[in-house]
Amino acid sequence: MQLKNIISVCVLALAGVQAADRTQSAQYCYNKKGMFLEARSDPSDSRFACLLPKKNGDEKTKYCVTYDGFSGCYAANYGNINYCKVNTKDYNGRGCALGLGYLYDSIKADDNKHESSRIACYKVNGSMFLEGTMDSPIDKRFACLLPKKKNDEKTKYCVTYDNKSVCYAPEYGNIAYCDLKDKNYHGRGCALGLGYLYDALKAEDKRHASSKTACKNKKGIFFDNPNDRSDRRFACLLPGNSSNKYCATFDGKSGCYAKEYGNMPFCDMSSPEYNSRGCMLGLGYLYNMGRMYV
C-alpha cells in the first residue's frame, strides 16, 4: 500500500469513515466538476457530500442548493448524509439544508484560513509550510511548522526536518490530530500526516529543479516566481503548436504547456481543473515575476 493510502486510512479511521468511501467520492465529484463538502478541520465529523451540477428536472428527485452561484444537487451514491436522500424514509429537507450549509461554511472558512496561513507562515524565518501538491486537488491538508522555542514540546507537536526543530502551529493549519489541545489529537496520525506532506514538498522541490533544467534544454520557456517562497507554481511551454494543449506566445516565442514539466493543472487540457483564463492569468503573472528578478 502506498504511503498516501496508509495516511488516508489512519486519518479517516479516527473519524469512523472508510477511507475509500470519502476519497473515491471526492475524486469522482472533482472529476464531474462538482462541489465536495466535508468538515475538513474536524476529523470527528464524518459527514461528507458531493453536489453535482444541477440539470433540468433534478429538483424533482434530488435535494438541490445554490452556493456562490453554483447550483448543485446531492449525489446520494457519493455522500453519507442519509437525510439528504430524497424519497427515502430518512429524508429531512431542513436537516439537509442545515447539514450541507454547515459543511459548506466549513469549506469556505478552511479555504480562507489556508490562504492567510500560508502568507503568515512564510513571514517567519525558519518556518516551513506543508500542503497537498497542486496535482492532488482532493488533499486539502496544510500545516505551518514554526521554529521550536524553549519548552514548546510541552504544548505543541514538534518534529525535526532538514536538521531544523519545528513545531506545528494550530492557528496556521487544519490538521486537528496535530493539535495537542484538540480532542482529535493523535500523535502517530500527526507523524504520518506531516511526514507525507513533507515528502511531497521535497519531491515537488526536486521536480521543480529538474523541470527547469529540462525545459531550458528543450528550448522552452520556464515560468516560476523566484522571489516568493509561498508561490509554488511552475510551468514550461515547449516550442510548437498543438490542438490538445494550451499554447501561448510570450515575447514572440510560442509554446504549449508541458504537463510533465509543470504543476499547474488548470493549464492541462486533460485535467478536470483545466481553465484557459486561469492558465493565461497564471502564466502571465509568473512570467512578469520572472522578468522582474532575472
Are 16 and 75 a contacting pair, CB within 8 Å? no
Q: Which residue among 203, 237, 259 closes a domain?
A: 203
Q: How many domains does the chain have?
A: 3
- 282 and 247 share a domain? yes
Residue after which a domain boundary falls, among 203, 234, 267 = 203
- Regarding whether 161 and 80 lie in a shared domain, the answer is no
Residue 241 lies in a domain: yes
Q: Does residue 253 lie in a domain region?
A: yes
Q: Which domain holds residue 133?
A: 113-203
Q: Are residues 14 and 98 in the same domain?
A: yes
What burial letters (b/e) apply to 217-253, b meaning 16+ CB within 10 Å? eeebbbbbbeeeeebbbbbbbbeeeeeebbebeeeee
Q: pLDDT tens digits for 265-290?
A: 899 999 888 999 999 999 999 999 87
Q: How confident is the model over 160-172, as pLDDT tens digits?
A: 999 999 999 999 9
Whether 27 and 84 map to the same domain: the answer is yes
Structural domain contains residue 62? yes
Asked whether residue 102 falls in the same domain as residue 155, the answer is no
103 & 31 share domain: yes
Clarify whether residues 118 and 186 are in a common domain.
yes
> What is the tens place of the pLDDT at every residue in 203-254?
999 999 999 999 999 999 999 998 888 888 999 999 988 889 999 999 889 9
Domain end point (choices 203, 236, 257): 203
Integer Cα distance of 144 and 127 in angstroms: 7
Q: Is residue 266 part of a domain?
A: yes
pTM, entire model: 0.80
